[in-house]
Structure 1
């Protein structure tokens, strides 16, 4: 977790991320991406309002490099800082009962993704449901560690990541950084892209793809069977012997089966798919828990 503080906080974020900072409030947290000048995503994050500051989350393995890169732009904003919070933590919660244990009955007011409930100095955030409609939350603790209530069952990191795949929410790894424009990761359907805000790094490419209807591939959810291990990030998906996409995230959820998110060409998603180098593995397309109109067959 990191905190951006100082007089240039909002202007800095507005110029580097795909989200409109004015819409990040005490009651609403939103996803965002930071991109290269070519519109390629190198950071997926969430923006949380904390007084005059903004909190963000970074993937642990990429945090140092991402923050170093962002600080090159931050130099233009005197008195504004971006620092990691060594005492901060984000706890994933699955199910409404867990949220109520943290936030009390007021947690029932969190009905849609991005809604925020202040719990002392912390923030309880409703995020996207899993495919089976199970509610998910993130509990952001920036300054003081509040103990996790004893009645909340502990889950493993793998279980949390599996819930993210089920919810159709991707995360980046070193292998997938700068590989995709945000729309290819369905970020516009995850409250992560604001198409009417002003200029930001990569905006021209992102806006052109949106307004000219140039999105030809996007994120799909799939299950796989007869596998002894999950496919690596970047593994090619094949149709008719040709590469039509690649794995973004994948996890085993059983002895021989698992789920994955993959960016696939729209004109190939209905074909029989296979994984490059994993001939015995079978793949089935699964429904995402949110609508992606771009994936529907064209009427023309």
Structure 2
């Protein structure tokens, strides 16, 4: 299924790794070949501006960052402000390398069975990243290339699998709403607490070590449609929001998870 809601950034140059290492919640300097990692990009207050899947491109010194398409222009502009003298060029690679979501038999046909979760391999004339399974269904992200022949996955089905996998994706409606731990980013490997400084690190570390976290991401269902960024309320308190939707998917009965 074409992932039109996703976009792709490319960072290249001798300082690309060190620059991104100083901006994101993940260890980018130590990112090995053949592996993708989750990462967050925070404001100075520790709130997530964007979330990424990051991996190294075949070309030396090039890194790819997949994120929500509605955040890409603002994220690219903000990151570019901090490049300064670093030998790092940032650009939008979305048109050059379209992203496709594969699941079930399609993921198997692409060769995902031979790749470990978050592993990166070559397949279908492009780059194949195995995503975490959802409800026992294998999933993969195909970057460029041509997807295997067969019926495309319905957008609602991909969205359901994305939510069921429990891996958060920050979109425009949820930007600057959560510190990484609120959406369980550290639980799915998206935060490295041993690396050096990055924007918002002090807040993220305090949330981790001082027990100041008051919100967590949970899987829930509702009888009506939901949208990211929508506030939800407890049945006995219609005045005070009980939480906010991070990601949502429609269900066959007209509800949502």
Instruction: Give the 3 Å change call, closer, same or farther, for CA 192–8 of structure 1 in structure 2.
Output: same
Counterpart in the other structure of 2:159: 161
CA distance in 1 between partners of 2:100 and 2:173 (Å): 25
Runs of 4+ in 1 over 3 A off after TM superposition: none
Counterpart in the other structure of 1:102: 110
Displacement of 1:239: 5.6
| Contact 2:24 2:198 (C-alpha < 8 Å) held by counterparts | yes
Displacement of 1:140: 1.6
Pairing 1:46-61 to 2, within 5 Å after superposition? 46-50=53-57, 51-61=60-70
Displacement of 1:75: 2.2
TM-score by length of structure 1 reads 0.76
| Contact 2:222 2:256 (C-alpha < 8 Å) held by counterparts | yes
Structure with the bigger RCO (C-alpha within 8 Å, sep 6+) is: 2
Pairing 1:8-19 to 2, within 5 Å after superposition? 8-19=15-26
CA distance in 1 between partners of 2:66 and 2:227 (Å): 26
Instruction: Give the 3 Å change call, closer, same or farther, for CA 121–22 of structure 1 in structure 2.
Output: farther
Structure 1 stretches of 5 or more lacking a match?
260-300
Larger radius of gyration: 1
Instruction: Give the 3 Å change call, closer, same or farther, for CA 56–231 of structure 1 in structure 2.
Output: closer
CA distance in 2 between partners of 1:223 and 1:188 (Å): 23
Structure 2 stretches of 5 or more lacking a match?
1-7
Instruction: Give the 3 Å change call, closer, same or farther, for CA 256–208 of structure 1 in structure 2.
Output: same
Counterpart in the other structure of 1:202: 200
| Contact 2:48 2:177 (C-alpha < 8 Å) held by counterparts | yes
| Contact 1:26 1:49 (C-alpha < 8 Å) held by counterparts | yes
Cα RMSD between the aligned structures? 1.8
| Contact 1:233 1:250 (C-alpha < 8 Å) held by counterparts | no
Counterpart in the other structure of 1:89: 98
CA distance in 1 between partners of 2:92 and 2:143 (Å): 14
Displacement of 1:232: 5.9
TM-score by length of structure 2 reads 0.88
| Contact 2:124 2:147 (C-alpha < 8 Å) held by counterparts | no
Pairing 1:103-142 to 2, within 5 Å after superposition? 103=111, 107-111=112-116, 113-119=117-123, 122-130=126-134, 132-141=135-144
State how many pairs are aligned.
245
CA distance in 2 between partners of 1:239 and 1:23 (Å): 47
Counterpart in the other structure of 2:4: none
CA distance in 1 between partners of 2:34 and 2:22 (Å): 22
Question: Secondary structure, in 3 states, of the residue corresponding to 2:67?
Answer: coil
